[in-house]
Structure 1
Amino acid sequence: MKYKPPKLMTFSKDEPITVEVVTKFMEKHKLEVARYEYLKNMYLGIMAIDDETAKDSWKPDNRLAVNFTKYIVDTFTGYFNGIPVKKSHSDKEILTKLQEFDNLNDMEDEESELAKMACIYGRAFEFLYQDEDTQTNVVYNSPENMFMVYDDTVKQEPLFAVRYGVDE
């Protein structure tokens, strides 16, 4: 598969966001999902050479797949995010709240997984939400089921994001 960088999905910020607009962007995103699956398979070591037909039993079969993709991603994220981000604040109360938030969401792990996912797919998302107890939670999200739409200005600021699931 030849590498094609993904195009940013853009939309005019003056136009209304309707169900038809979101559906159109979902269809565009579904075309990218095959590329994301290919990239994930590369990381997992599932190579195209594995799908080739077996050679005759009397012929040597010296095919070999080396998972260099996993090595590169794991090494880079280790160097990039091996030492967790340190946060500080002069106000002790704010620092305590920040540490509680980090502990509640296991932010070291979240940031590490986010960095790894960004290396594998070229993009990743951090999803913030309020739970039943009105606490803010953070989870990482794969670009396989989420996408961002940007405005069509020079700044390309985010307009909206869509996270979806498909069932029968």
Structure 2
Amino acid sequence: MRKLLMVVGFVAATAAGGASAQGYSDGFYLGGGFGNNSLSGFDDATGFQVFAGFPLAASLGQASTAIEVGYMDSGDFDYCVPSFAGELCGSTDAAGLWATGVADYALGPQLSALGRLGLDFGDDDGLMFGVGLGYDVTTELEVRGEYVVRDNIDSLQLNFVFRP
């Protein structure tokens, strides 16, 4: 409950007013991509994520801000451990909804740096944060490379953002 209150407080503080910095358009956007996910003690897994973003009117200095909500599926983490009967093998995965505040800082006309902070509400619930770079291929399409850290799973992601 305390974590949820922290996110709600962040959203309220950043949405309180101010002019929008360049970076996010006036309307919502959709995104999705793939991630190489790491979980200690398991083989890496390839998963996916989908999300929607909602630009906020407030800025953090020169950075524009948004709220993103999404769904992440880690893919299957495989493992094998020795046992008295040979090897015991299996797999596990993680999936769930998440919500983050995002700050996007323009480094040039098409390149930007971004940071995120929020909560994962799924199997790997808890605080999540990340950093990355975005490149505007067109005014409607951005390609992002991000590194996102959750309580147990770290993800190196390639995402595509569509601004209708």
Structure ranking higher on relative contact order (CA contacts 8 Å, 6+ apart):
1
Higher strand share: 2
- With normalisation by structure 1, the TM-score equals 0.27
More helix by percentage: 1
Length-normalised TM-score, structure 2: 0.27
